[in-house]
């Protein structure tokens, strides 16, 4: 008899739709503007060539350097495998499956919901308002039984900053019952909007950070959980025994040197210039219906016919992120801001789309 493995799988996993990452979706082209990665790379050399020993449980030199970067105590920091691991660790530590709930506010990053579904934790989706801000009243009304509230700022995929006054109100409402998690994966593109300075003020605040975006180290998978020392201690109990490989911690340490931080800030300024230029050019395109305000390294655009635009770009080797089938994002495409050459190519191909359809309409 052949064992039907599928019958052994937990019911919630049988029904799970995995996260549709840029690499899982794939595509064919030479210009990749679909994953909010940096399109420019760093160059680092490994310090060691022998890897027969396990790494530190937590790389202390890296933690000290990151603590210096954000001006907080090393005791407020846990190094994780990208910010994604932090999302999951918090649920594993604080939520009882089948009993506790999380809140997330769509449209936003899908991994909050997917991790909860994997772990058997109830999700409460509080739809954002039309201006992509939080519906604070509904969030507060749903507070009973909620242990974690995930808020992405700048929000992915909309690109906007969440109002700090709303975040603070939610932190205060949940001060005795739940933890508010602010995902600041893109905050280096708009540092003045960070709520990092509240870490010492609010014991139920957690911030997630990463080196994947502005630091141009997406392949490294290195992130940070920032919180009070009690939360960091709890998460330290359940993180994998040796989560951060030595090559990862060494490269991350180099990336946080003064010279590398200076280079990162220069890269951010170049990207903001490119973003401004792209938005100006997109505003000239007759197939663009709306360009949403962004403080990140991507732009959410509503087109008159998003599917045709997406397919046209793909046909011409430009891979972007189609959001058209996602709730609340009809006719939307998310475009990562690339190098100026990549941005120019994107605009030229979109202009070709206009000319092609104008000729067809006049024939």
**What CATH number corresponds to the domain at position 71?**
3.40.640.10
Tell me which of 211, 234, 256 is where a domain ends: 256
Q: Is the pLDDT of residue 359 over 90?
A: no
Which residues, including other chains, have CB under 8 Å from residue 9's CB and lie 6 or more apart? none
| Domain shared by 272 and 248, yes or no | no
Helix (H, G, I), strand (E, B) or coil at 253: helix
Token pair recorded at residue 168: 């603070």
**Number of structural domains in the chain:** 2
- Of 163, 189, 229, 239, nearest in space to 36 by CA: 189
CATH number at residue 287: 3.90.1150.10
Q: Is residue 52 part of a domain?
A: no
Yes or no: say if 132 and 292 are a contact pair by the CB < 8 Å rule.
Answer: yes
Is residue 180 classed as helix, strand or coil in its secondary structure?
A: strand
Give the pLDDT of residue 43.
Answer: 82
Enclosing domain of residue 87: 60-256
6 vs 294 pLDDT, higher one = 294
Count of beta carbons in the 10 Å neighbourhood of residue 53? 9
Same domain, 193 and 270: no
Choose the final residue of a domain: 199, 227, 256: 256
- Listed residues 226, 256, 286: the one ending a domain: 256
**Residues of the chain with pLDDT > 90: what percent?**
82
> In this structure, is residue 237 part of a structural domain?
yes
Spell out the alpha helix ranges (H) of the chain. Answer: 11-14, 22-25, 60-70, 82-94, 111-119, 136-141, 164-173, 229-238, 246-255, 258-282, 306-315, 340-362
Tell me: do 207 and 292 sit in the same domain. no
Token code pair at residue 324? 């058209």
Task: Kindly state the DSSP code that residue 142 receives in the 8-state scheme.
Answer: T
Q: Do residues 101 and 118 both lie within one domain?
A: yes
> Nearest-CA neighbor of 79 among 60, 94, 54, 93?
60
Convert the pLDDT of each residue in 214-268 to its tens digit: 999 999 999 999 999 999 999 999 999 999 999 999 999 999 999 999 999 999 9
Q: Looking at the structure, do residues 91 and 225 belong to the same domain, yes or no?
A: yes
pLDDT per residue as tens digits for the range 85-110: 999 999 999 999 999 999 999 999 99
25 and 173 belong to one structural domain: no
Angle made by CA atoms 45, 46, 49, in degrees to the nearest 5: 135
Are 134 and 189 part of one and the same domain?
Answer: yes
């Amino acid at each position: 008899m052949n064992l039907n493995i599928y019958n052994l799988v937990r019911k919630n996993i049988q029904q799970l739709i995995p996260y549709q990452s840029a690499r899982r979706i794939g595509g064919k082209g030479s210009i990749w503007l679909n994953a909010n990665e940096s399109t420019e790379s760093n160059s680092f050399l490994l310090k060691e060539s022998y890897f027969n020993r396990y790494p530190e449980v937590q790389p202390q030199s890296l933690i000290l350097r990151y603590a210096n970067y954000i001006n907080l105590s090393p005791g407020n920091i846990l190094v994780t495998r990208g910010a994604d691991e932090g999302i999951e660790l918090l649920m594993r530590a604080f939520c009882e499956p089948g009993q506790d709930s999380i809140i997330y506010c769509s449209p936003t990053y899908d991994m909050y919901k997917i991790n909860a579904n994997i772990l058997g934790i109830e999700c409460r989706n509080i739809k954002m308002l039309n201006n992509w801000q939080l519906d604070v009243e509904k969030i507060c009304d749903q507070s009973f039984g909620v242990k974690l509230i995930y808020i992405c700022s700048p929000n992915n995929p909309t690109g906007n900053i969440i109002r700090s006054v709303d975040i603070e109100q939610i932190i205060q409402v949940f001060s005795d019952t739940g933890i508010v998690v602010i995902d600041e994966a893109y905050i280096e593109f708009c540092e003045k909007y960070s709520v990092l300075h509240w870490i010492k003020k609010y014991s139920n605040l957690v911030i997630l950070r990463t080196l994947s975006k502005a630091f141009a180290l997406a392949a490294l998978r290195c992130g940070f959980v920032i919180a009070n020392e009690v939360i960091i201690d709890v998460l330290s109990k359940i993180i994998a025994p040796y989560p951060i490989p030595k090559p990862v911690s060494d490269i991350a340490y180099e990336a946080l040197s003064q010279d590398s931080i200076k280079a990162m800030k220069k890269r951010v300024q170049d990207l903001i210039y490119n973003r401004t230029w792209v938005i100006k050019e997109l505003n000239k395109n007759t197939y663009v219906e709306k360009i949403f305000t962004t403080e990140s390294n991507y732009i959410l655009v509503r087109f008159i016919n998003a599917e045709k635009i997406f397919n046209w770009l793909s046909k011409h080797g430009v891979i972007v992120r189609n959001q058209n089938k996602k709730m609340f994002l009809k006719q939307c495409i998310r475009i990562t801001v690339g190098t100026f050459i990549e941005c120019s190519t994107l605009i030229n191909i979109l202009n070709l789309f206009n000319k092609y359809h104008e000729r067809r309409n006049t024939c």
